[in-house]
Structure 1
């Protein structure tokens, strides 16, 4: 039914969106991995707040999440990097994400060189410019589409009052 049900749209609250692959979620947030020096990494460095959007067309539902973004620990990035297929590890080294290249052949040639270099099974080092980000939710909006266009929307907003943190729930007009 869903081809990539763990893919999501990431917006950096500055009119720039892309699809990223969600690799984990827990009470402390939602995690994805990328090249820190690519366009999205630069944008997160400039504005460490983002919005995630999960959309399920067949269900006519979406969930939007906003919050601050931080890099995950080097240990967490290292652990995930080495859990990836070797080809993906090499790809992370080869791709200088978002930079202009003269042609795809440049990527393929460098990939083949690194594939040969690490063909002995030695550990492929994680590049310093590659790792994970975690978005810590401060707002969830749940949207259920309706044929009448009177969509059902609930918003949960994290707030601290008198030293206590709790979720305030608001119903929004469509």
Structure 2
């Protein structure tokens, strides 16, 4: 019996973000997917040393994929020194993976302010208290910093710290992977060029 892919190249939208939106909405709607927005973010410093961690997708559109962080964290320092980055979503319940490569740029101050204002107050306080990625001598030090910031901002809205903002990854390559029987997976890569727009390539599994 011949093996068949789940989706033909001809059936895919011509733009990567449209395809991602459909897959992302499937993941959000599936009760077996714990957090559809969780994605691995790979960065490298100026010397090319890589690092990877899981962050949360906060928004996306045709301009790119947005996430937020402490700018003094390792990923923040990496991205300011080397804006090339990659994202990876994996939704085991759907047997689907999406890999995204591109270049990041900072979001606007207005975008960062609006998102920060939407966060729970305790998360806002935590952003002020954490010296993310720096050595922590003991957890009591962190708890004391949280208590101090809680008192500091007790009678006012918590403003966004200057060291906390977001990045938008503008993709130039997006690969969609769907699990197939006997490892005959379905792989489609969308590759962007300024001259031709998005081109779809079918890849060997």
TM-score, normalised to structure 2, is: 0.80
- Structure 2 SS opposite 1:16: strand
Aligned to 2:119: 84
1:157 aligns with 2:186: no
Match of 2:176 among 139, 142, 151: 142
Structure 1, 74-83 or 92-101: larger mean CA deviation: 74-83
Match of 2:153 among 98, 112, 118: 118
Q: In structure 2, how many angstroms separate the alpha carbons of the residues matched to 1:147 and 1:44?
A: 38
Question: After superposition, where does 1:19-30 map in structure 2 within 5 Å?
Answer: 19-30=54-65
Aligned to 2:74: 39
> Which structure carries more helix by proportion?
2
Structure 1, 14-23 or 34-43: larger mean CA deviation: 14-23
Aligned to 1:173: 204
Q: In structure 2, how many angstroms separate the alpha carbons of the residues matched to 1:12 and 1:112?
A: 33
Provide the aligned length of Structure 1 versus Structure 2.
170
Q: Any unmatched runs of 5+ in structure 1?
A: none
1:56 aligns with 2:91: yes
Q: In structure 2, how many angstroms separate the alpha carbons of the residues matched to 1:102 and 1:160?
A: 49
Aligned to 2:166: 132
Q: In structure 1, how many angstroms separate the alpha carbons of the residues matched to 2:115 and 2:93?
A: 31
Q: Any unmatched runs of 5+ in structure 2?
A: 1-31
Question: RMSD across aligned C-alpha pairs, in angstroms?
Answer: 1.2
1:11 aligns with 2:42: yes
Q: In structure 2, how many angstroms separate the alpha carbons of the residues matched to 1:52 and 1:132?
A: 15
- Structure 1 SS opposite 2:181: coil
User: Any runs of at least 4 consecutive aligned residues in structure 1 with deviations exceeding 3 A, and if so which?
Assistant: none
